[in-house]
Amino acid sequence: GAAFAGIVAGRRDRVGLIILDRPQALNALNRQAMDAVVAAATLFDLDETIGAIVLTGAGRAFAAGADIKEMAELSYAEATARDLFAGWDALTRIRTPLIAAVNGFALGGGCELAMMCDVIIAADTAKFGQPEINLGVVPGMGGTQRLTRAVGKAKAMELILTGRMMDAREAESAGLVARVVAAAELLDDVLTMAAGIAAKSLPALQAATELVDAAFDSTLTEGVARERRVFHAGFALDDQKEGMRAFIEKREPRFTHR
């Protein structure tokens, strides 16, 4: 494993693991943590021997938001000059499947960080929310947009206007979370899931994340046309031949990620 400031990163076979590691501040996302997460995730994404990335938090939080102490006294000029939080955009360009294992509080920027990932798996103890309104501000890392797309206007509006937290079960039934797992089993469960994903064809995985993301950013006609072309392009890959031949020959595929 490698240590960047505020995180721990390491790998297990084809799975990259990033742990937010400032538990004394409930993993509040300061500038260093942002730079470290983005750097580690970008390195994993460029590494063809990594087929899935897991992001989680140490202690009782995934992340309790942007670091309030770091930004409390900023002026408008400083916030805009630094384009506060723009660095996180790089995370949304990562094509290797990125799985958030939300172990505790995912509030404000922490909830928004989880929503930048491709899939969210939550511990039964997880709590989600956009409490920025309680601080006299609005969500600033995509919350008004991604939460609304994930759970619909009614619930997103209610959560953002009241600043209340929702538990893992509510987040699952609202469609924010794919699955809820007992807290003690969360990391093992997600690493097993990630290993299963990472064994599949990496170019197919990358195409899938790109296409699902396109569903939020294009019309149905454009998205379906793009999907069909990407599907056709898959026939240029060895993995398509291997996957379909293995099915016909009733054996497990051996993908080479080519």
Residues that bind ligand CO8 (CB under 6 A): 25-26, 28, 64-69, 79, 84, 105, 107-109, 131-132, 135, 137, 139-141
Active-site entry in 65, 108, 109, 140: 109
State the minimum distance, in angstroms, from the CB of residue 72 to ligand CO8: 9
Neighbour order of strands in the sheet with 119-123: 2-4, 7-12, 15-20, 52-57, 98-102, 119-123, 179-181
Nearer to ligand CO8, 148 or 218 (CB): 148
Nearer to ligand CO8, 166 or 205 (CB): 166
Active-site entry in 66, 100, 171, 208: 66
51: Cα separation from own chain's centroid: 14
State the minimum distance, in angstroms, from the CB of residue 69 to ligand CO8: 5
Nearer to ligand CO8, 82 or 241 (CB): 82
Active site residue 150: no
Give me 94's structure tokens: 């990562």
Active site residue 66: yes
Active site residue 70: no
52: Cα separation from own chain's centroid: 11
State the minimum distance, in angstroms, from the CB of residue 134 to ligand CO8: 6
CA-to-CA separations, 111 to 217, 221, 228, in angstroms, rounded? 20, 31, 33
State the minimum distance, in angstroms, from the CB of residue 247 to ligand CO8: 46
Active site residue 222: no
Active-site entry in 112, 114, 123, 207: 112
Nearer to ligand CO8, 57 or 109 (CB): 109
**Which residues are tagged catalytic?**
66, 109, 112, 132
